[in-house]
Structure 1
Amino acid sequence: MKVDLVIRGGTIVLPQGRFPADVYVQDGCVVALGRFDGVTGKREIDAGGLLVLPGAVDGHVHMMDPGHTEREDCTTGTAAAAVGGATTVIEHHRTEPPVLNAKIFAEKRDYWAKKAVVDFAFMGGAVPDNLHELKGMWDMGAVAFKTFTCELHGVTPMYPGMLQELFRTLKTFNGITLIHAEEDTLLKVNEKKLRESGRKDYLVVADWRPPETELLAISNAVVLAKEIGARIVFAHVSLCESLRIIQEARRAGAKIYAESCPQYFYLTKEDLARKGPWLKFAPTVRDPENVAQMWRELELGHVDIISTDHCPYPKEEKAAGLDDIWKAPYGIPGIETTVRLMLNGVNQGKVSLERVVQALSETPAKLYGLYPRKGTLLPGADADILLVDMSAREVLSNDTVVSKCKWTPYDGMEVQGKVVMTLVRGTVVAENGRPVGEPGYGQFIPRLGAGK
């Protein structure tokens, strides 16, 4: 018997454990795991000595396309995703025009289908005046709706009364929202004081966005979500104390989840003081003690999802903040480094690989309605596969960045653990740090059950 592809000799890693097995692929899907005599592949890949992981489902990317393609575009961004090990990206609504209704959703879907290297899904945006548009996007396959509790990137914030209406609207069709949670009035008071002081130093960012801005916004949203029974995910949670608030609500039966990103596991205020605009993102960096504890929170299962919050800007835009931090935009690239940084944490003994696979692949696929097509290697799933060499060491460098921005905040950092091959639906899209997939190969993946 012959199938399209056999990946031989590797060790499968899933959240439930690891085991030696070959992977058999037919028509872009996993059809079997095991060792079967007499079954060969039209193509065979030797994975001896490598780990075989499900591709990452990156729940938080900003590719800027259509709109700001001087920063990133669909093709460069998804090629970078392929190199980094993200086989499905969930693109957010902040393009031009922003995705706030079904018509724009469909136009962007069709536009991306001609350009994407890996598979993709979309979040719509939720703002005060478009709540009546959410169901239309949901029916078209939106996986969630992104909203902000603060003014950032030109997005209108959702204050508590507006959040309440959003949660009630989503409850009518069991929708889910991803919330950028920082308290807007505190931020504005802090900003006013800092600007009046004349400060331009790098730690302005930390003083502008201190821990209480996140804690208060999360606390407010938790109260409303518990009362209404809404499903919510908090984006890029940066504080262990925030995770404890979320866990307390979960224990009480709330459907509340936490996303975080590698920057909150690696970067500190000391790094911000040195690197300034290259580490200007929101929420901001935290103290070293908090960073160290975030790994423990991940291992305990208190961080549900690891995403990238890939938000790249060209070097010249970020460098504008070298002498005046106010002039640098918020955002950093991350789609090429996230999987490697988490593998590095495994090698350092900070977290198990099984938990990393769960947070990078299985849980985001489940929360956003893409499982079991995505996020697993069980038979029937798309053959989205990473071959990983856990012993390989490399130094992250601006010189090897595929993203159009051509820089990484981790430039010069040595990591151990490398994605050596990425496959999407059984086709190799990246190998040894180089994208080899074709633009237009990536498919739109609607949420399971969309339109029914």
Structure 2
Amino acid sequence: MENFDLVVRGQIVLEDEVVYGEIGVQNGKIHAIEKETNLLQGTKVLDFGKSYVFPGIIDVHVHCFSNPNEGFIPTSSSAAAGGVTTFLDMPYDLPNPVNNVEQFESKVKQLEEEAIVDICLWGTISKTGGTDQIAKLAEAGAVAFKMSTFETDAYRFPRIPDPEIMRAMEMIRETGLVAAFHSENDEIIVDLIDQYKKENKVYPRAHMETRPPVTETSAVLKLLEFAYWTGVKLHIVHVSHPRTIDLINLFKKQGVQVTSETCYPYLLLDINDLEKHGPRAKNNPPLRNPEDVGGLWRRLQNGDIELISSDHAPWGLEHKEKGNDNIFLSASGMPGLEIIAPLIFDSGVAKGKLTPLEFAKLMAQHPAEVFQIPGKGKIAVDYDADFTVIDPEKSWIVDETKFRSYSKLSPFDGCKVQGKVVQTIVRGTTVYDGNEVIVKPGFGNFVPGKAYHQALVGRA
């Protein structure tokens, strides 16, 4: 009988069924799956009993460097503690966004020295004149391209003009990668915020009132039409309103290759939480009305939303408390890597809204499929031995002071959660043992995008 490096036992969540079985791991890869136990021998055996062994969770929407106080070590430590085995880091870094190949290669080097878990990197383009970098970034290993129709910062996080979007979409289509967008209507939002400030309407709810649903849906509609004519693979990030999903479904029927994600706050919080918590619950797009949250859940359960992400944005108190008396002065976004998996397990699986199989697809399989990440997202032979182990019987309390992120503030602080991450395994190695992160920075790998592999084949 073959002796494996590692045997993992528990409630194994496969693509189409949950079995009480075991997995044989050799050299960081899955080599055998048995639907019974005590059939495989291992140098090391981890028996998780009734705990679920999920495919390693993938978070596609993370901002390590929007706040330079954060970076790869705190973020990837948070990921490990939250059961996230791979994440995709956004390109809107301070001081310089990742819109050229030199910046990208420098970031890869830092990643390889500092990562705790595996990481893919997004690329972006400058406001104008940057499309010449698309092919180079794709070949260097960018997993996808992120752009915005809303301007946070003209240099770091610009609004890309329509002609440039069209050019970028055509070029990204040629790489085979995904063009993803922060989709909000800049003109309407800026006008409304100016109006509200003049009238001194700066209470928390004003953040939603100046970003009504039409600011999301109108921006998405334009991008869907652009994708129809260019043939690019389009991905809409952080969907906050169910009508956005309805528009996406209309265009799917017309043959547009489009996918979407929502984020855990849009499923678990609503406008009342923004009023209660103020800047802690401020994100872009904003939290919506309770009926909109219900609409997102229904579409999620119908299979109309491909995946859930965190949009991890690690702002400190100094960036948030500016908005205590004027919501417009606060930074937008909240941390999420350490809590997204257990919170979605709690609200979905534990409460009967999602099956374990649906949870695995939303949190692992679909992220890997949408972003074409080879060897990840499923428990299958020859895939990476990435596992997120959640004990459904353990409950715990969210304590923001213990976050590994620089950002130690969350509207979920004090919430009781049913389901605890008891182990995180990356390529057959335990990176989090249920209490501590136990690998050193540099263990995590850079995971290049699909075009990188194609470029290698072309050069061979």
**C-alpha displacement at 1:46, in angstroms?**
1.2
Segments of 5+ residues of structure 2 without an aligned counterpart are none
SS of equivalent to 1:25: strand
**C-alpha displacement at 1:161, in angstroms?**
2.7
Contact 2:67 2:315 survives alignment (8 Å): no
Contact 1:296 1:351 survives alignment (8 Å): no
Within 5 Å, which residues of 2 pair with 1:182-331?
182-331=184-333
1:22 correspondence with 2:22: yes
**C-alpha displacement at 1:174, in angstroms?**
2.2
Q: 1:396-425 CA deviation, whole Å, 9 max, x = no partner? A: 121321212122221121121111100000
Tell me which residue corresponds to 1:102: 101
**C-alpha displacement at 1:433, in angstroms?**
4.1
Contact 2:398 2:416 survives alignment (8 Å): yes
**Separation in 1, partners of 2:161, 2:218:** 12
Within 5 Å, which residues of 2 pair with 1:276-425?
276-344=278-346, 345-371=348-374, 373-425=375-427
AA matched with 2:162: P
**C-alpha displacement at 1:126, in angstroms?**
2.6
SS of equivalent to 1:151: coil
Q: 1:244 to 1:134 in 2, by over 3 A?
A: same
Q: TM-score scaled to structure 2, two decimals?
A: 0.94
AA matched with 1:23: I
Range with greater deviation from structure 2 (168-177 or 153-162): 153-162
Contact 1:422 1:430 survives alignment (8 Å): yes
**C-alpha displacement at 1:356, in angstroms?**
1.7
AA matched with 2:397: V
Q: 1:284 to 1:339 in 2, by over 3 A?
A: same
**C-alpha displacement at 1:37, in angstroms?**
6.0
**Separation in 2, partners of 1:13, 1:138:** 33
**Separation in 1, partners of 2:208, 2:270:** 10
Q: TM-score scaled to structure 1, two decimals?
A: 0.96
**Separation in 1, partners of 2:230, 2:207:** 34
Tell me which residue corresponds to 2:75: 77
**Separation in 2, partners of 1:421, 1:341:** 16
**C-alpha displacement at 1:162, in angstroms?**
2.5
**C-alpha displacement at 1:203, in angstroms?**
1.2
Structural RMSD (CA): 1.5
AA matched with 2:440: E
**Separation in 1, partners of 2:38, 2:385:** 21
Contact 1:296 1:350 survives alignment (8 Å): no
AA matched with 1:78: S
Tell me which residue corresponds to 1:149: 149
**C-alpha displacement at 1:115, in angstroms?**
0.5
**C-alpha displacement at 1:16, in angstroms?**
1.8
Q: 1:65-123 CA deviation, whole Å, 9 max, x = no partner? A: xx7432x1210110000011110111111113211111111110011110010000100
Tell me which residue corresponds to 1:134: 134
Range with greater deviation from structure 2 (38-47 or 128-137): 38-47
**C-alpha displacement at 1:303, in angstroms?**
0.8
Segments of 5+ residues of structure 1 without an aligned counterpart are none
Contact 1:6 1:40 survives alignment (8 Å): yes
SS of equivalent to 1:348: coil
SS of equivalent to 1:47: strand
Tell me which residue corresponds to 2:115: 116
AA matched with 2:353: K
**Separation in 1, partners of 2:192, 2:39:** 68
SS of equivalent to 2:49: coil
Tell me which residue corresponds to 2:3: 2
4+ residue runs of structure 1 moved beyond 3 angstroms?
35-39
Range with greater deviation from structure 2 (224-233 or 14-23): 14-23
Q: 1:279-335 CA deviation, whole Å, 9 max, x = no partner? A: 111000000011122222111111111111001111222112112212211111011
1:60 correspondence with 2:61: yes
**C-alpha displacement at 1:160, in angstroms?**
2.7
SS of equivalent to 1:49: strand
Matched residues, number: 447
Q: 1:361-403 CA deviation, whole Å, 9 max, x = no partner? A: 11111121213x1111101111111111112211212132121
**C-alpha displacement at 1:38, in angstroms?**
6.3
SS of equivalent to 1:124: coil
**Separation in 1, partners of 2:230, 2:14:** 34
**Separation in 2, partners of 1:334, 1:91:** 13
SS of equivalent to 2:175: coil
Q: 1:134-177 CA deviation, whole Å, 9 max, x = no partner? A: 11010111110000001014522023332222211212222311
Q: 1:435 to 1:450 in 2, by over 3 A?
A: farther
Tell me which residue corresponds to 1:43: 44
Contact 1:15 1:355 survives alignment (8 Å): no
**C-alpha displacement at 1:428, in angstroms?**
0.6
**Separation in 1, partners of 2:7, 2:207:** 50
AA matched with 1:180: H
Contact 2:119 2:444 survives alignment (8 Å): yes
Tell me which residue corresponds to 2:86: 88
